[in-house]
Amino acid sequence: MTKRTGLIVTALAAVYLAWGSTYLGIRLAIHEMPPLFMCAVRFLIAGVLLIALGKLLREPWPTPTQWRGAAIAGILLLGLANGGVTLSERSVPSGIAALIAAATPLTLMVIERLRPDGERPGRIGYLGLLVGFSGVAVLLGPAFSGSTLLGRPGDLALLFGAQFCWALGTSFSSRGPVPTGLFVGSGAQALTAGLFHAVATTVTGELPRALGRSYDFQTWGAIGYLIVVGSFVGYTAYAFLVREVPPSLASSNAYVNPVVAVILGTTIAQEPMTPGILTGAALVVGAVALLAYPQWLKAKARRGATA
């Protein structure tokens, strides 16, 4: 194994573990700390540190227009979407949250199809939609029968709203005037989201309750893990992969992360695992891999043309 190959394998493992474990990290962090306050603390600190790292690497400072774009993306992706996931995990198991979030590419495809200038899916894309949404339906089977195994209905609804906001934010980020620097841009989004959550914490009345109590080591450790591993390790490894490998491989975390999240949730947090959940998980992950297949073919064709 060459040094470059070793770095690629290490970076892939880092992204898989870092972003696959954040769902369990969120659950542990909000066990004691109010969810919106936790998001405010997490993203304010992560935003400042990511921007500082970007400036250290001499990334360009965003223009006012790019700041505005980063603010919109940050509120959609980390404010509404990640905030919704965090709130939902008050009762929804972390593995289920990760699996439903993994269906975001399916929702994104629908949004793109509805846009006048959006990308039109081919036959494989429509097949992926059918398989993926079938998997989501299988996952939600217990909820349809009135069971609370998957969490409260309101929290499940929040999770689907969060998934829609993530897809909407992704669609905006691909076209909007966002910062060009990876770390400065990510930091700007995180900082905006942190301010958004700080306002939400105040408006909802969480702030006095959050400040009026002390937190154990598990809570602060989980928040530190989300900041260091989820933000720094994850983003750094992903930035390396984007430069060094085809997009199809760099984005493979989309169907690996939920598997990691389910394994961690089941083994560490003793979250439920049923045949229905396993079947739904296989369908959702398979659908996301199916959507990535045309991109893999295009990347392979480009490599062949330049060889």
- 161-204: per-residue pLDDT in tens? 998 898 888 778 777 788 888 889 889 999 999 999 999 999 99
pLDDT of residue 107: 77
What distance in Å separates the CA atoms of residue 86 and residue 103, rounded to the nearest whole number?
A: 17
pLDDT tens-digit profile of 113-148?
Answer: 777 766 666 777 778 778 877 887 777 776 555 556
Are the beta carbons of 74 and 196 closer than 8 angstroms? yes
H or E element at residue 63: none
What distance in Å separates the CA atoms of residue 149 and residue 153, rounded to the nearest whole number?
A: 10
In a domain, residue 178? The reply is yes
In a domain, residue 42? The reply is yes
pLDDT of residue 224: 95
pLDDT of residue 158: 92
Q: Looking at per-residue confidence, does 295 or 258 come out higher?
A: 258
Question: In the predicted model, what is the mean pLDDT of residues 277-293?
Answer: 77
Q: How many CA atoms lie within 13 A of 22 on its CB side?
A: 25
Confidence of residue 28 (pLDDT cuts 50, 70, 90): very high
Q: Give Dmax over CA atoms of the chain in angstroms.
A: 63
Give the residue among 89, 48, 85, 83 at the shortest CA–CA distance from 196.
83
Answer yes or no: is pLDDT of 211 > 70.
Answer: yes
pLDDT tens-digit profile of 68-116?
Answer: 999 999 999 999 999 999 999 999 888 888 888 877 777 777 777 777 7
CA-to-CA separations, 220 to 138, 197, 268, 295, in angstroms, rounded = 36, 18, 18, 40
Are the beta carbons of 227 and 49 closer than 8 angstroms? yes
Angle between helices 22-29 and 94-102 (to 10 degrees): 140
Answer yes or no: is pLDDT of 303 > 60.
Answer: no
pLDDT of residue 249: 65
Q: What is the pTM of this model?
A: 0.81
Question: In the predicted model, what is the mean pLDDT of residues 254-266?
Answer: 83
pLDDT of residue 11: 86
Domain count, the chain: 1
Question: In the chain, what percentage of residues exceed pLDDT 70?
Answer: 86
Torsion of CA 115, 297, 281, 239, to 10 degrees: -80
Give the residue among 16, 15, 89, 19 at the shortest CA–CA distance from 269.
89
43 class by beta-carbon count within 10 Å (0-12 exposed, 13-18 middle, 19+ buried): buried
Confidence of residue 37 (pLDDT cuts 50, 70, 90): very high
Residue for token digits 């793109």? 112
In a domain, residue 77? The reply is yes
Q: How many CA atoms lie within 13 A of 5 on its CB side?
A: 2
pLDDT of residue 52: 95
In a domain, residue 255? The reply is no
Average pLDDT of every residue of the chain: 83
Residues making up the chain, counted from first to last:
307
In a domain, residue 88? The reply is yes
Are the beta carbons of 256 and 20 closer than 8 angstroms? yes
In a domain, residue 45? The reply is yes
Q: How many CA atoms lie within 13 A of 53 on its CB side?
A: 18
Question: In the predicted model, what is the mean pLDDT of residues 39-54?
Answer: 94
148 SS3 class: coil
Pick from 49-58, 69-78, 160-169, 237-246: least confident: 237-246
Residue for token digits 């097949």? 127
Confidence of residue 236 (pLDDT cuts 50, 70, 90): confident
pLDDT of residue 286: 81
pLDDT of residue 205: 92
pLDDT of residue 262: 85
Domain membership of residue 186 as a residue range: 34-92+153-205
Across 120-237, the runs of DSSP E, i.e. the strands, are none
In a domain, residue 26? The reply is no
Confidence of residue 152 (pLDDT cuts 50, 70, 90): confident
Confidence of residue 297 (pLDDT cuts 50, 70, 90): low
Question: In the predicted model, what is the mean pLDDT of residues 10-31?
Answer: 90
pLDDT of residue 33: 94
Q: Which long-range CB contacts under 8 A does 154-160 form with residues at least 24 apart?
A: 155/87, 155/88, 155/89, 155/90, 155/91, 155/92, 156/88, 156/92, 156/100, 158/84, 158/87, 158/88, 159/84, 159/85, 159/88, 159/92, 159/97, 159/100, 159/101, 160/100
